[in-house]
Chain A
Amino acid sequence: ELKVEQNPLFLSMQEGKNYTIYCNYSTTSDRLYWYRQDPGKSLESLFVLLSNGAVKQEGRLMASLDTKARLSTLHITAAVHDLSATYFCAVVYGGSQGNLIFGKGTKLSVKP
């Protein structure tokens, strides 16, 4: 059974600081997704990582994937308040092309 663990689950940081969110998963997978969810809203796709060593960047966020270590990171550079949200990673489950198993999410709060 695939398990996806994120840490930390809660993160309070100051504007301008850097931090990394980690996503570990328990079985082999070469595809990983990051989503953002604002309070009371739906999930918005941030990054699609499709191979070992993949790195994607959008603004102050950068995601990477190491399939050998079964680890993805979401790095936040010089955080701003607008990045406050919950971030989920999700991993493809087994051979089924459609299934994603989600982590429990990291709730990020960026304070002035």
Chain B
Amino acid sequence: EVVMTQSPATLSVSPGERATLSCRASQSVSSYLAWYQQKPGQAPRLLIYGASTRATGIPARFSGSGSGTEFTLTISSLQSEDFAVYYCQQCDDWPLTFGGGTKVEIK
């Protein structure tokens, strides 16, 4: 199965600053990668699919990039509502697999 590795595990950022989250796949998944945001007590919410396409209603401050094995989620200017856990997921092959998550916390 494709192993997804996210880094860092925790990212401390001040409001208004940029956050850069990384996701690595153990083998190429082309552009078949999605990103989700999960807040405490809530289900995950789709942010990005196809590595770089924002889902409906997702603000433009969220952007995704990468292909093959290296991917990045960037939040250009962190708002208070963006502090959460972020997961990447490969959509290329079954079993579908997720990274371990990056917690974005207030610095």
A and B are interacting partners:
no
Q: Which residues of B contact A (CB under 8 A)?
A: none
Q: Which residues of A contact B (CB under 8 A)?
A: none
